[in-house]
Amino acid sequence: MIGLLLFTSFLGLMLIGVPVAVALGLSGGLVIALTGGELPWFGLYAVEQNFNAGIAKYPLLALPMFVLVGCIFDRSGIARRMVDFAVALLGRGPGMLPIVAILVAMLLGGISGSAAALAAAIGGVMIAAMHRAGYPKPFSAAVIGAATATDILIPPSLAFVIYSVMMPGVGLLELFAAGLIPGLLAGVALVLPAWWLSRRHGFGAQESGLERPPLGRSFREASWGLATPVLILGGMRLGWFTPTEAAVVAAVYVLLVGMFVHRTIGVRDLVPMFSDAANTSAVILVILGMAGVFGYCINTIGLADPLVAWLGELGLGRLGTLVLVLLAVKLIGMFIDGVTIFMVFVPLFAPLMRSFGWDPVWFGVLVTMVVALGQFTPPFAINLMVAGRIARIPVESTFPWVGWFVLGFAVAIAAVVAWPGLALWLPQVLIANP
């Protein structure tokens, strides 16, 4: 009964518009007070203790830096230069601009650290270009919304940072490496329907007549952006810096490129950027602290053990239970943002993984892929909302097109479920050959 009260109060507060952090804190505080009647102050001192414990973790030092990278990236002009280089490399023709948008989103996902910021940056460049080439705006917005979902799979990834904090014993470098191949697979799963739909409906008929940027010049201008993921991942692989320090390296590098190479960022831009990053980081950290209170309640009332027992009684087996859990995450992800899903439900996942023998790194990648799918699945679909706002169209107009991308992404998830090595091979190689 107490467990039911915990979740119903949280969901009820969310439905009436209460902020996530407040909903987590109020529902957790209510349960602590009801179960701590014999303690001083009804045991509410546990709220402060677990709030501090929820954010006093070393990997979280990377979070403000990754957020800052996203804020800098939005103003640096890297996206436009990467688009020009991709167009110069792939050429012009029907179906090529959507492929360019997806490939650039995959590459820049390793720089921005924020799907919404990435959707805004790429959408601002690509949607107008695709419209001039003859692509309908709803289709273009659907492509951008789906493409930028790969952001949380390709490092640096805020989702992986949060998962590594919430799941003890899982290294951030392992998660970063594990997300690369599934992230590339997800990108391919989006390229195929984008190309097929463009060809089938005759989109981009005017694209062949548009100018193709010179390859050499566009490569020189994009080279600073191309070097970023190589610097970050190569530096971690060679031991130059830890994954947490990589966030600082990424922020400093992108800032220097924006200020002194591309010269798109001035001194007067620094205060607004730092302010935005500080505000966003503070919101996430408050949610994380309150999620620590919520997780304490889950562990204290023993909610995970009955859930594991119930799933075991269903007789679905290891694979069937995994599919059921992922479907539940997918359903929740259609209404709740990904960060909240990680912070609220990861405490329930740990006992499930131990009981059914799921690899925590593999499971973390699968959950992240499902959460990414939720970013462009209606009705929540934050990426579609951003892309629709840039295209100045109602988000509902993208729904007929986005279904094909949802299907392709789901096939990529099924492949990682069927072949865990797609996620686990690269981390094993990196660990075996440090």
pLDDT, tens digit (0-9, with 9 covering 90-100), for 8-33: 787 787 778 777 778 877 887 887 77
Rounded Cα distance between 171 and 163, Å, is 10
> Does the pLDDT of residue 336 top 80, yes or no?
no
Highest mean pLDDT among 30-44, 75-89, 134-148: 134-148
Percent of the chain with pLDDT over 90: 9
Output phi, psi for 26, to 5 deg. Answer: -70, -45
**What pLDDT digit, counting tens, does each position of 214-261 carry?**
778 888 888 887 777 777 777 777 778 777 787 788 888 888 888 888
> Does the pLDDT of residue 399 top 80, yes or no?
yes
Q: Mean pLDDT across the stretch 363-369? A: 91
**What pLDDT digit, counting tens, does each position of 297-311 carry?**
776 766 666 766 777
Q: Residue 219: its pLDDT value, please?
A: 85
Pick 364 or 432 by higher pLDDT.
364
Pick 109 or 114 by higher pLDDT.
109
Q: Residue 200: its pLDDT value, please?
A: 87
> Which residues have C-beta within 8 Å of that of residue 140, sequence separation ≥ 6?
98, 126, 127, 130, 131, 387, 391
Pick 114 or 103 by higher pLDDT.
103
Report the chain's mean pLDDT, rounded to a whole number: 79
Pick 52 or 42 by higher pLDDT.
52
Q: Residue 190: its pLDDT value, please?
A: 93
**What pLDDT digit, counting tens, does each position of 182-194 carry?**
988 998 999 999 9
Rounded Cα distance between 203 and 200, Å, is 8
pLDDT class of 133 with cuts at 50, 70, 90: confident
Domain boundaries, the chain: 59-284+304-432
Q: Residue 203: its pLDDT value, please?
A: 83
Q: Mean pLDDT across the stretch 341-361? A: 80
Q: Mean pLDDT across the stretch 343-359? A: 79
State in Å, rounded, how far the first CA of the chain is from the last one.
Answer: 49
Look up the pTM and report it.
0.77
> Does the pLDDT of residue 328 top 60, yes or no?
yes
